[in-house]
Chains A and B, each alone.
Chain A
């Protein structure tokens, strides 16, 4: 039996949503796994939702710019958890050697992440994706729904979102050609994720833990992530640090702040 009723409630809501998504989409549903702490929690919740038998494909959007520790983590846990891992890469853009320095961050994120995702959705004819974004990460993500539609060209119509009520009514369907983003962790906070990682004994990429007085609070592409000054080298210390800090979680992520409303523009074109 578990012990923290607050985490139980967060988990309960998330697992319910994952099962609703599966009921509607079956094998046309996939999980986005970046090996970050949030999507690792999401993968764990999905394994829990299906009693340890995860039949859904797990997608990693690989920009080629990720930290080597992330690739190691991917190899190790894809095997241990027996995941049906599929890698999404925009081969054409990678061949052109697109980069944030040469092409700008907006173009780089759009090509290597959003475009790569478009390609893999087409390839496997996916209709819905489980994505581990949270409201407290960014003010734009706070406007999201649990079941959030994207049209054929991946646009998010944030001015006209459907109703969701209580813990049980969601608009789970979507018109043909488009896909649905499903956000089972939307109501979790950064600190909840860490408390849950501790409770469930989940592994994390060691970039999150302090080395030489620095650690990453949010991880992604090596070129666009900055570490924070921190001595937190255990999960317990990370929990304490987050409780005491006033610095935004994604303050080390360049794509959020290159220019005003950049996140809104990236997201309206299909970014996570």
Chain B
């Protein structure tokens, strides 16, 4: 079976994100029979034109209010067997938390900009947070070209504006496509209405393979320890590398060493295992082993009590406020010890350090953890390089990466 490219579609309110995905589904032939008829009927009852967005916006409140409330995901498969998972996210500022949910595991981001209304606040925020989450490939869509008379000048002007902003945050988009999602221009075929455009169509831009490497050094966070058949089985998911029976592993943060006696999957023992398998390990000595410890070899990650990091705030946060630092299965009491720098994500301007971080602020901080934690420098996808901070109510209030 072929792999499925995960595509997050981001941008401002009413830029046409859901419509773009809906139209792409329709053009690819992945819309199930009857869906178009249902939507036609639903739109007629409301006295509206046909809405491709209804293929995604399924809640009554979403259709009545003509907005996307929560993130959603749809699979798409074209006739050549190419597959995509589209992640639709809300464009409203208040719904920002929902935006991060699906985005965190996307391979590619499509930024949708309204040709008439240009780049606005949320697109700026979205592109920064997507880069922050580890996404490296960006595609820009200048949408609603039908409302701009398919005018080349308008397209070029918008293209320059968007690229200018993205340059500031060090994103170089793979391409910039003039599109009318409503009319279907340049999604699957080059449109005659934009015969001045010689670049890639959206489907061409999305026909790539994306593999996030797990890395070569073995890493397994301990998820749980089960006592079965008189043995301690260390359960966990391998997040990088491979392990063989008979090999030695380090147990962090305590830095003890043990030998792997057996590797268990379901009811069998297997000679070796690798990313992304969920396995059970039986070690020579598993005394004191518990959830939150990290098994690693041969190069070891860092063990720290002060963590230098960059965070993106989802809820307001205070310096010294009691928090939980959570990375992989680690969960340790922590607080922000120092704030080194703060930026607003809409204007990219540095803000004064008041000890208070606002929602959607980006900050460089030092975190003090109560017990040593195991970390690695963030390299785009490594689990030990990323973390969340939770508040007393166990709500995630910040997403972070290790500097």
B4 within 8 A of A: yes
Contacts of B34 in A (CB 8 A): 248, 251
State whether A159 and B226 are in contact (beta carbons under 8 Å apart), knowing that A6-B1, A6-B4, A51-B233 are contacts in the complex.
no
Quick check: A143 and B58 within 8 Å, CB to CB?
A: yes
Quick check: A159 and B396 within 8 Å, CB to CB?
A: no
Quick check: A142 and B58 within 8 Å, CB to CB?
A: yes
Q: How far is the CA of A11 from the CA of B276 in the complex (A)?
A: 9
Contacts of A189 in B (CB 8 A): 75
Quick check: B58 and A163 within 8 Å, CB to CB?
A: no
Q: How far is the CA of A211 from the CA of B338 in the complex (A)?
A: 69
Quick check: A15 and B226 within 8 Å, CB to CB?
A: no
Residue in A50, A140, A145, A195 whose CB lies within 8 Å of B59: A140
Quick check: B266 and A162 within 8 Å, CB to CB?
A: no
Bitwise, A133-146 to B at CB < 8 A (1) or not (0) is 00110111011010
Quick check: B266 and A145 within 8 Å, CB to CB?
A: no
State whether A23 and B224 are in contact (beta carbons under 8 Å apart), knowing that A142-B58, A143-B72 are contacts in the complex.
yes
Quick check: B278 and A159 within 8 Å, CB to CB?
A: no
Q: How far is the CA of A138 from the CA of B59 in the complex (A)?
A: 11
Quick check: B100 and A51 within 8 Å, CB to CB?
A: no
Quick check: B266 and A48 within 8 Å, CB to CB?
A: yes
Q: How far is the CA of A52 from the CA of B270 in the complex (A)?
A: 15
Quick check: A264 and B74 within 8 Å, CB to CB?
A: no
Residue of B nearest to A164 (CB): B101
Interface size on B, residues (CB 8 A): 58
Stretch of A64-72, A85-93, A168-176, A218-226 contacting B (4+ beta carbons < 8 Å): A168-176
Contacts of B101 in A (CB 8 A): 145, 161, 163-165
Quick check: A4 and B1 within 8 Å, CB to CB?
A: yes
Contacts of B75 in A (CB 8 A): 136, 189
A12 within 8 A of B: yes
Contacts of A101 in B (CB 8 A): none
Q: How far is the CA of A145 from the CA of B396 in the complex (A)?
A: 15
A16 within 8 A of B: yes
Contacts of B223 in A (CB 8 A): 16, 19-20, 23
Contacts of B395 in A (CB 8 A): 162-163, 171
A47 within 8 A of B: yes
State whether A264 and B394 are in contact (beta carbons under 8 Å apart), knowing that A23-B223, A159-B69, A163-B314 are contacts in the complex.
no
Q: How far is the CA of A50 from the CA of B34 in the complex (A)?
A: 42
A53 within 8 A of B: yes
Where the two chains meet, the residues of A that have a C-beta atom closer than 8 Å to any C-beta of B are 1, 4, 6-9, 11-13, 15-16, 19-20, 22-23, 47-53, 135-136, 138-140, 142-143, 145, 158-159, 161-169, 171, 173, 187, 189, 195, 246-248, 251, 260-261, 264
Having A136-B75, A159-B61, A247-B33, one finds 17 other A-B pairs with CB under 8 Å, namely A12-B278, A15-B278, A16-B237, A16-B278, A19-B224, A19-B235, A52-B267, A53-B228, A136-B74, A142-B73, A143-B72, A165-B104, A166-B104, A168-B383, A246-B31, A247-B32, A264-B59
- Among all A-B residue pairs, the 10 with the closest Cβ atoms: A139-B58, A248-B32, A52-B267, A15-B278, A12-B276, A142-B72, A165-B104, A48-B266, A163-B396, A261-B60
Question: 21 A–B contact pairs at CB < 8 A?
Answer: A12-B277, A16-B237, A19-B235, A23-B223, A23-B224, A48-B265, A51-B264, A136-B74, A138-B58, A139-B58, A161-B98, A163-B97, A165-B388, A165-B399, A166-B104, A166-B383, A167-B383, A169-B326, A169-B388, A247-B32, A248-B33
